[in-house]
Structures are given as structure tokens and as C-alpha cells.
Structure 1
Amino acid sequence: MDALQGFGELGLGSRLKRISEHLMKEGQLIYDHFEIDFDPYLFPVFKLISQKDGITNTEIFNAVGLTQPAVTQSIHKLTKKGLIELIDDDSDKRRKIIHLSPKGKTLLKQLQPIWKSIDSVIKSFGMETSSSLISHLNSFEHKLKTHSFSKSVIKSLGNRHHSIQISTFQNSEAEKTAFYDLNEEWLRTFFYVEPFDEEVLSNPDKYIIDKGGHIFFTKLNGEIVGTVALMPLPKQNTFELTKMAVSPKHRGQKIGQQLMQYCLDFAKNLGLPNLILYSSRKLENAIYIYRKYGFVEIPVEPDCHYKRCDIKMEIVF
């Protein structure tokens, strides 16, 4: 017996809270499935900002009806993730005008088809007519219990990575250009291009291939949409999993995970004892994926060649 359901109208507030928490949890499963670093609780504020050509904190508060601390917290988290920019108001320097950042605009493109599917699935779950709000909630919660909401959304989006092929570096100009462009775009979106990055990206033969390393590409219907490299680290007697990047319009299709698994299988077949990678704790979703595949944190050496690096990870085969 569902106690809250038995309380009838008296349990309405608690039931709505339970449904909300369930949908937030399922929403996070959807974003995680498509490798998208987004918090469902940030949706109303992020969505509103994306619809406006500049908006203030107060305007967000009045529009969404959340508490001021909740709005402030959302803005702080979105700023920390680099998804929004706060710009001084020309007419009043005390005010900040909030816009999506370039990174936020890229993320928005990834989120829109997912939001469309979420909207469609919720509508299908709530199609039945009822004589009262409580009976409608009974029907809606029954759907949530008997049909996985997250799996329904993922299924409705279909297999978004069909026709994916992974190939090795053939030293063509097209591959060199793709290797540079994909990584350069990714670095500028999340960080900046460091001198060491520029050297490696401009000279993949010198720093990777000629030293016994490997570069791989993912192709979707013949178009290069992702890349990754295994770069030799002679001083550490191992390879670095590095320079993984996916085209902005194809992120969220698990291409990165396919590249990751391919590299792990390739390394095992070579008989390598381990692989290491360097990253930044800023990339929370990426760190989660690395841990999922078996990487564990190890100390970062003082002379690490990446300024942005504050975490080093290793997987032992």
C-alpha cells in the first residue's frame, strides 16, 4: 500500500515532491547516458537565460518563481561550469546582464533534442483523462513505476551513433587537419591552447607517430567526428591517453566512450601494463567517465606538461 496515495488530497504536496525528485534522478541518468555534463536542477534558469538576449538575476527570480537563494545558487553553478557570462550593464554598472557563454550555446544545441524527447515522453505518460488531480497523479505515478522514464527517453532518441567507424591515422592532410581542428575547438571551449598543445597538434608525426604512438579517428558516414591519441611517455615507460575530442554537433552520442573503449582494448592487445591520462577536475563529467572505465587517481608530477592539469589518472590492466 502506498501511504502517500492513501492520504488522498492531504498528501498532494508530498506526492508532487516525490514525483519531482524521481524525474530529477531520471533526468540525470539521461544526461549521463549521453555524456552531457548538466544538472537537471539547473534547467529552469539555464533554459530561461537561453531564451533571452540578456537577463538580470532579478528578472530570472520574477520569471521562474524560485527562491532568491535557489536562483543565486543556480547562477553560481552555471558560472562555475562556464555556461554563462555576467556582463556589466552599460546603463547601471551595479547590475549584471547574464548571457549564455560560447560553451553554454554549444551545450544548448546538445540539450535541445533531449528536452524535446523528455517533453514528448512526459506527455505520453500523462495522456489518460481523470476525474480529479489525485486520480491523474495515481495514473502518472503508475506509469513511472511500470515504465522507466529515462529508458523511454533514451529509446525515443534512438541509436544516435549508428554507422560509426574507428580508423587509424594514415598520415593524410585531411586527418592532420581534423586532428588539429577538433582538439583546438575543444580546448578553446573549455580552456585555452597551451604552447605544448600547439606543438603536439601541429606536429602529430614528431610527437606521437614517429615515437611509436597511435592516433585514431571516429567517422560517421565517412565524416571525421572524433579523435584520440596514445602518446608515448618514455620517462614513465607507458602511454598517455590524450587529445580526445569530438565535434560539437556530435557530442552526446557516446562517441567519446567508444573511443575510450577502443583505446583500452588496443592497449591490452599490445600487452601494455597500464595507461595514464591528465585532466582537470573542472571536467566533472569526464572524470566520472574515466572512473567508470577503471581509471584511478594517482599523484601529479611537479613538472606536468599541462598547466590546466590538476588530476592524473591511471588504469592498470
Structure 2
Amino acid sequence: MTDVLAHEGAVMLGSRLKRLAERLQAGAERIAADCGLPTQPSQMPLLTALYRRGPMTVGDAVQVLGISQPAVTRILSRLVEMALVETSRDVRDQRSKTISLTPAGVEAMELATTILWPRLRAAVGEVCDAPALLAMIEATERALAEQPLDQRPAGGLAIRRFTDDLADAFYRINAEWIGDMYRLEQTDIDVLKNPRERIIAPGGDILFVEDPSLGIVGTCALQKTGARQFELTKMGVLDKARGKKVGAFLLDAIVARAHALGCDRLYLLSNTKSAAAIHLYEKIGFVHDAGIMDAFGRRYERCNVAMLYHPPGARQDVAAE
């Protein structure tokens, strides 16, 4: 059976790491019990912080552990019930609560460092390269602290769906690049001036890339040409957005959108003058195809390149045919 989280790759990274954490913690809990420790893995970070750094406030613990105050309070409440941690009021500020290990808490941590942790280190070392994994986690945490996930990819690029308000941007972006390299043909004009009628209504779609400072800077369309067949067409990026990797970002989104629309056959038409674009198409899985050229190439006077998309897993099969 297909592992859904693994199959979806990076978009499920958070869920996959959570699953991994649950498996690691379940094993650590069983080892802790075997070592005679009554604690849960989720409680060990706070116990360790108190053991290493001494008494602190709840606010200090939040900062040291990098987790929310409600989470710290919840863990603290349970550790107090277990008599491993005690609380007291700061004599200088009665509103501030100081937390510290009890003698039983110190004993538990001494047992953990002496008996539990060596066993855990050895166990983890059997399943992965722990130093390399920890270094990657540290780098990821540092990067997210500098710029949260919702402010990425770099520059804050975002995908937008077609609305009638964006029809002008669809025309303007494509008219710019087509006019610079070729000439607008009548088939271009028909589509660009009537995107809802020519693209959206028949079952296709148009996506845009928005830059937080530059606005809409790129667009690409899926034009339905058969029951489960689409042409990837009218892809353009404004010159002012060059170097921001808008094209690659947009292509990933448009291919995913094609699959969501039930596409079994995705093709495109281009010209050898668009060398950079063709290289990008090849990079993500488009393959030059004489059959597509014969069937659709006459649509544009400028067309001398026709390509058919092959999903990554199918490329080896295609090459072998």
C-alpha cells in the first residue's frame, strides 16, 4: 500500500516529521520504563532544562525550550503531580512563579543521564546518522526563525487563481514576451482577449504568480483540447521579475493543477528561440515529441518545438522505448 505522506514529499514534511517523532517517542517511552523512569518523553525537555540550568520561571522555560506557554504549563502541572518539580513564588514579584526540581526530580535526571540516555543514543545511532540529522534539523530551525514558512519561497512568491480582475494581466504579460520575441498571431489575440471564454469555460485554468513587492509577474494557462488532454500555453514572466525563479515556481504549480483537472496528456508548443524556457520544460519532464508536432504544431506559425509531459517515474520507460 502506498505511503501517502512519503509519496507527497516535501508538502507533507511537517506531518511526516510528526509521525517520526511519535515513533521515536513511543520507543523512548518503552526504554524509559525498562530503565525504571516514570516520565514521558514529552516531559524530559523541561526536566532537562531545570537539571542543566537550575530554577527558572515559566517564561524562562518557554524561551529555553522554544515551545508555547500552554504546553509548558501543561507539562509542568503533570510533573508537579508526580512530585518531580515544585513551584514557588518569587519574593520580589509574587506574580512570577519559579519552578525547580525536587530531590526526586534530581534523582530521576541522574538516572536518565546515566542509564537512559546512553541506551537511547545507541538505539538512535542504529537507525540513522544522528549527527547529520541533528545538523540538518538545526539548520532548518534557524532558517525558519529567520523567515517563517508562510513567508517563503524566497521573496514571498504566491500562486493566484484566475479572476476576471486578472484578465488584463494575462493579456499584458503574454503580449510583452510574444511581442518582444515574435509577433502576436490571431490565435494569440483570440485567447488573450477572451481568457474566460477560451480557457476557463471549456474546463481549463489560468494561474498567476504574485510577488509581494512587484505584484503579478507571471502567468500560465491550461487549455483543454480533449477529454483528458490539455495544452500548457501562454506562459510568461515579466522582465522585472527575472532571476526570482518565477518560471520554475509557476511550472510546478501548473503541472500539479493539470493533474488535479484529470489530465492524462499534457503537451506544449514552443520555438527554439525560447531556449531558456525549453530547458526549463525539459528539466521538469517534458520530452520533444514528433506526434504532438504533427497533431498540433500548425496552430502557430512560429511553432517548431512540440513537447509531451512524462511524469518523473515514467521517463526511464519512455527513454527505453
Identify the TM-score tier after normalising by the shorter chain.
0.3 to 0.5
- Give TM-score scaled by structure 1 length: 0.47
- Give TM-score scaled by structure 2 length: 0.46
- The structure with the larger Rg is 2
Higher relative contact order (CA 8 A, sep 6+): 1
